[in-house]
Amino acid sequence: MEKIVMVDLPGQYRKIKREIDSAMNKVIETGAFINGPEVKSFRENLRSYLNTAHAITCANGTDALQIALMALDLKKGDEIITTPFTFIATVEAIALLGLKPVFADACPRCFNIDAKAVEKVVTPKTKVILPVHLYGQCANMDAIMEIANRHHLYVVEDAAQSLGSEYTFDNGLVKKAGNIGHIGCTSFFPSKNLGCFGDGGALVTNNPDLAEKMQAITHHGSRVKYYHDMVGVNSRLDTLQAAILDVKLRYLDRFNQARIEAADYYDEALSGIDGLILPKRMSQSTHIFHTYTIKTAARNRDRLKDYLAGRGIPTMIYYPLPMHLQKGYSGYGYREGDFPVAEELCSTVLSLPMHTELKTDQLGHICTAVHDFFKNNAK
């Protein structure tokens, strides 16, 4: 059996090496490292894949979130409703712009923001709802869009972990993650479902004015070279990364399918274990398993992690501390106990190895080890 890893980037590369190498060589030979034709091509292919009117590339997913919020003409102190159970980037973008993160607790089974909790924290200062489609599955966008429409709020989606996942509305309409709200943000960090060989990010929208403005913001707030209509940033996707992503985008559905098949294996092999909760697949969203995240009682979580490590199986905790309890964000005045679901998730979730190259013998070894833990070691 090959060594088990959390994410197997070299293994995936070997499968598409010829295409990737040739795309990279082409960029190197032309020397168009910044804003080369591959950037435009990838932007167009991403736009078309997500079925949006506009796509803008940028340097990473954190920038994408910041650029989205910069484009919305918000004032200092305006409130952005988001989840406390996410990666810090979501909240960092809000804080950096002097906006106020207002948290709505997560849902204990789907891990995404709880729409009922969102409704309760809307105030006259609320301007944006920022749902995160965590672990590969969309948040409850029927309810979130309804609340946003009723209160005239923007919806900015953090689709960094869910590129390719699809949401089916109650009325049957199907949309891809990122193409549901006013702006969708994503990341091409190497381990994401669509990852490059460094950093990368993108924004998508169906609003031409927002698209034009976000494009200008990524380019120092400039529409005409050396004239700056607003304060922007310098946030570009390298041509090399765009060339790699353009190849990998063609494989994204197949890659996501490989993750789903690994998840199917886990679901079946791990079902019926007392004390183990498997990830729930919501009926409204496909799940593309950026992570395969299980839950156990808090007293067993770290013991399970250590036990698996002892059998050569890496695992990760996404995330060990909720956003409202992060030291750097204590200024917002949140306390322990404010978001009990997010806090509980932080002490009970555990992500098993998940990537496109998992082999059946590896999956079997992982599942046997989990069974053994619950038979002999769980408390």
Ligand X SMILES: *Cc1c(COP(=O)(O)O)cnc(C)c1O
Alpha carbon of residue 361 to chain centroid? 29
Q: Which is nearer to ligand X, 36 or 61 (CB)?
A: 61
Q: Is 86 in the site for ligand X (CB under 6 A)?
A: yes
Q: Which is nearer to ligand X, 154 or 373 (CB)?
A: 154
The token duo for 332 is 């917002």
CA 338, CA 322: separation in Å to the nearest integer?
Answer: 11
Amino acid, res. 150: R
Q: Is 291 in the site for ligand X (CB under 6 A)?
A: no
Considering only the stretches 9-17, 54-62, 75-83, 254-262, report the one whose residues sit in contact with ligand X under the rule CB under 6 A: 54-62
Q: Which is nearer to ligand X, 304 or 341 (CB)?
A: 341
Q: Is 187 in the site for ligand X (CB under 6 A)?
A: yes
Considering only the stretches 31-39, 44-52, 55-63, 210-218, report the one whose residues sit in contact with ligand X under the rule CB under 6 A: 55-63
Q: Which is nearer to ligand X, 62 or 126 (CB)?
A: 62
What is the biggest distance separating any 2 CA atoms in the chain, rounded to whole angstroms?
Answer: 68
- x/- map, 130-169, ligand X, by CB under 6 A: --x-------------------------x-xx--------
- x/- map, 118-137, ligand X, by CB under 6 A: --------------x-----
Euclidean distance between the first and final Cα of the chain, in Å?
30
Q: Which is nearer to ligand X, 61 or 181 (CB)?
A: 61
CA 182, CA 167: separation in Å to the nearest integer?
Answer: 15
CA 371, CA 360: separation in Å to the nearest integer?
Answer: 16
- Which residue in the set 12, 43, 61, 241 belongs to the binding site for ligand X (CB under 6 A)? 61
- Which residue in the set 12, 57, 62, 286 belongs to the binding site for ligand X (CB under 6 A)? 62
Interacting residues of 253 by C-beta distance below 8 A, sequence separation 6+: 164
Q: Is 52 in the site for ligand X (CB under 6 A)?
A: no
Q: Which is nearer to ligand X, 132 or 366 (CB)?
A: 132
Q: What one-character-per-residue DSSP string does 50-73 give?
A: HT-SEEEEES-HHHHHHHHHHTTT
The token duo for 13 is 């590369």
Tally of CA atoms within 13 A in the half-sphere of 362 that contains its CB: 21
Q: Is 67 in the site for ligand X (CB under 6 A)?
A: no
Residue with the CB atom nearest ligand X in the bound state: 61
**Residue reference for tokens 């795309």:** 23
